[in-house]
Amino acid sequence: MSEAEYPVERIDFPVGGAPLFFRRGRENRAGAPVLFLHGGSASCDTFLEPKGNSIFDFLNKHHGMDVWLLDWRGSHVVTLSAPGPCNEPGDTVAAQDIPEALKFIRKTRQDERHPADSVAVVAHCLGAACLSMAIGAGHVNAGSGLGPVVLGAVGLFYEVTWDGWTKLQDRTLDRLADENDTIEFITPDPIGGTWPGMMEQTYQMWPEVWGPPPVWRADDFFRRLAFMFGQPFLVSNLHRSMTQDVVRKQFGAIPFKLYRHATQNALRGFAALFGAEGQLDPSTPNEKIPDKLAETYLHLEAFKDLKITLITGAENPLWHRESIDRMAEWLARRGRPATKHVLDGYGHQDLWWGKRSWDDVFPLVLEAVR
């Protein structure tokens, strides 16, 4: 496929020294705008697969929406091209990448004489976590052009499945940072570089049966991927075109600080600043610590004017569905409950790549962003 035939145009969008970029649909640019944010270690290829049957195809080609895909600094493509500037925690993504993206989209459409009062945002995994943080901290809101929001798999509250929890308990990543402060990224691809000794040793002790199914486990890439994050998709639910070769290209390097920040929040159970415990006044009473940690992002009033839809798989093997359940319960306190969809037979990435995602998932997203 030639560049002219490719359904999206690449638009370079550097932020804070990181070479971020958009991919924007070439068609239907006068339609309602919607921005997609991928998960950590992934890229916006998430939303372009399966080819011809993707969420991009559904919204852009079939429903005439102006679709923007942002490869933010958690994208493996961006991370490998500039490891240093990309090695930032979620705080930076929330304060810089996402607000600047909304500004750029609105300015571009204004210049094209297709102004938009607001831009809908569909965010998945760590993209959804960072978007939630951006909203909670007041970096983006309805006044700055944020429209309907879809949060996939996680929001401000974090619950991992049991195998993920066993790996969190020994704080391997924080211990690695204490041992070596030069680490910029971690990748599941053995060709991309060896893991630090402590992490490699833990991986070698990890029970083999906790990894992907045997036919995928033969490729060490997929086993390392499952060790790093938990199994990112239900193999049994993948669309027929999502073969091992296709899926292997979907994941890669993740900035080390972003990875650490996600594990810190998972241990806390909610979003706080990177290394927040180390910034506390030593005289803070124990019973006040959770409130102090929550001060930056857990502001319910920041969500009061937003239409929010939460979506996850009932069998999500990476972020437990409780992550979405807790977010829904918290949002209900604002007097306007969020819309929540927990889909049977779905896991994590297969929300976008499932056999029946076109019929089961994509119409829910369309209804949410309209």
Q: Tell me whether the omega of the peptide bond preceding residue 337 falls within 30 degrees of 0, making it cis.
A: no
pLDDT at 191 over 80: no
pLDDT at 186 over 80: yes
Q: pLDDT per residue over 214-264, tens digit each? A: 889 888 999 999 999 999 999 999 999 999 999 999 999 999 999 999 999
Euclidean distance between CA atoms 251 and 265, whole angstroms? 22
Handedness of CA 336, 342, 343, 344 (dihedral sign): negative
Sorted by sequence, the CB contacts under 8 Å of residue 18 that are 6+ apart come out as 73, 78, 82, 85, 86, 88, 97
State the average pLDDT over residues 48-75. Answer: 97
Cβ 276 vs Cβ 293: under 8 Å: yes
Q: pLDDT per residue over 204-224, tens digit each? A: 988 888 888 888 988 899 999
Euclidean distance between CA atoms 225 and 186, whole angstroms? 10
State the average pLDDT over residues 305-316. Answer: 97
At the fourth CATH level, the homologous superfamily of domain 8-369 is Alpha/Beta hydrolase fold, catalytic domain (3.40.50.1820)
pLDDT at 28 over 90: yes
Euclidean distance between CA atoms 150 and 152, whole angstroms? 6
User: What is the pLDDT at residue 74?
Assistant: 98
pLDDT at 3 over 70: no
User: What is the pLDDT at residue 1?
Assistant: 45
User: What is the pLDDT at residue 193?
Assistant: 64
What is the enclosing helix (H) or strand (E) of 117?
none
Q: pLDDT per residue over 136-172, tens digit each? A: 999 999 999 999 999 999 999 999 987 787 788 889 9
pLDDT at 5 over 70: no
pLDDT at 90 over 70: yes
Helix (H, G, I), strand (E, B) or coil at 270: strand
What are the sequence ranges of the domains in the chain? 8-369
User: What is the pLDDT at residue 2?
Assistant: 44
Confidence of residue 192 (pLDDT cuts 50, 70, 90): low
Find, among 256, 228, 79, 251, the residue nearest to 160 by Cα: 228
State the CB neighbour count (10 A cutoff) for residue 7. 19
SS percent in the chain: helix, strand, coil, step 5: 45, 15, 40
The torsion of the CA quartet 207, 183, 125, 133, rounded to 10 degrees, works out to 140
State the average pLDDT over residues 78-93. Answer: 97
What is the share, in percent, of the chain residues with pLDDT greater than 90?
A: 87
Euclidean distance between CA atoms 187 and 166, whole angstroms? 20
User: What is the pLDDT at residue 139?
Assistant: 98
Q: pLDDT per residue over 316-365, tens digit each? A: 999 999 999 999 999 999 998 999 999 999 999 999 999 999 999 999 99
